[in-house]
Amino acid sequence: MSYDEWFRTDRLPHIYCAGCGNGTIINCTLAAVDQMGWKKEDTVFVSGIGCSSRAPGYILTDSLHTTHGRALAFATGVKMAKPAFNVVVFTGDGDLAAIGGNHFIHACRRNIDMTVVCMNNQIYGMTGGQGSPTTPLKCLSSTTPYGCAEPPFDLCELATAAGANYVARWTSYHVKELEKAVKVGLETPGFSFIEVLVQCPTAFGRRNKFRQVADHVEFLKSHSLLKAKRDRLIDQGQPVPEDMFVVGEITKRNRPAMGVKP
């Protein structure tokens, strides 16, 4: 189909495990990028280290596979040197929230014109399933064998508080919504942050009763709460279910942005 020409087809099939949702997110992002009508030589995909960061290797445009956590720092450099380029950053939760947390909040604060797609699988998948800053409470991982005791990061709230222009959260089940959200993010001047919760059958699912991919996708589907519905529940004074996560467009505003294409 149309966005197929963005793939480096000689590299496919890719290295991700069977059932990993990262490929879904690449599909959605590329479908949105294709709708923007950008030229391949003016588009740069940047990534750090991790499962998610293998993604630009399968895309035909120029890409940067950088050091752990520093994807946003390198992307800032690309955008400052070449403001005419369109910069899209693929990153994971361990890359963005743990080691690159400081780069993340400062990229939000500067409001640089780029789009960040965070594939949040809630664990360090590539290195053997260690707990990450987004591992939910009581979830098992190889570094939290009795259940995670620390409350997780809410990356969308963090990005909103730090000043990003567009913040959205979807899951790998909501492909059409994700495609639209990425498209809005690409169109928005300033920092756009799209968090995507994704299934990881190998590292996360194996320890948390989601060994079957379908079970984890079903969990993502049934535990996502639309933002409009959350707001309605709060307006009516009803309790918001605690085990559910909010999906939808969290923030859209028009702060002064940096590095916008002249």
Partner 1 sequence: MKLSIDENRCKGCNLCTKVCPYTIFREGKRLNRKGIAVPELDRPERCANCRLRNLYGRQLCGVCQLTCPDQAIHWVEEEPYEPHKVAIEY
Pairing of strands 245-252, 166-171: antiparallel
Minimal distance in Å, beta carbon 204 to partner 1?
15
Which phi and psi (to 5°) does residue 170 adopt? -140, 180
SS3 at position 154:
coil
Taking the complex as a whole, how short is the minimal distance between the CB of residue 23 and partner 1, in angstroms? Answer: 3
Q: Which is nearer to partner 1, 27 or 63 (CB)?
A: 27
Q: What are the backbone dihedrals phi and psi of residue 6, each rounded to the nearest 5 degrees, phi first?
A: -85, -10
> What's the closest the beta carbon of residue 221 comes to partner 1, in angstroms?
9
Nearer to partner 1, 7 or 38 (CB): 7
Kindly give, in sequence order, each residue whose CB lies less than 8 Å from that of residue 88, ignoring residues fewer than 6 positions away: 29, 33, 43, 44, 45, 46, 114, 115, 116, 117, 186
Q: Are 185 and 192 in contact (CB under 8 A)?
A: yes
> Nearer to partner 1 by C-beta: 18 or 84?
18
* Chain Cα centroid distance, residue 130: 19
Is the bond preceding 13 in cis, omega lying within 30 degrees of 0? Answer: yes
Which residue's CB is nearer to partner 1, number 30 or number 164?
30
Q: How far is the CB of 7 from partner 1 (least distance, A)?
A: 6
Q: At closest approach, how far in Å is the CB of 256 from partner 1?
A: 34
Comparing CB distances to partner 1, the nearer of 23 and 83 is: 23
Cβ-contact 175, 262 below 8 angstroms: no
Backbone φ, ψ for residue 247 (5° rounding): -120, 160
Q: Closer CB to partner 1, residue 22 or residue 43?
A: 22
CB of 244 to partner 1, least distance (A): 20
Task: State the Cα–Cα distance between residues 56 and 209, nearest whole angstrom.
Answer: 31
- DSSP structural state of residue 237: T
Footprint of partner 1 (CB under 8 A) = 1-2, 4, 7, 12-14, 16-24, 27-28, 31, 172-173, 175-176, 179, 213-214, 217-218
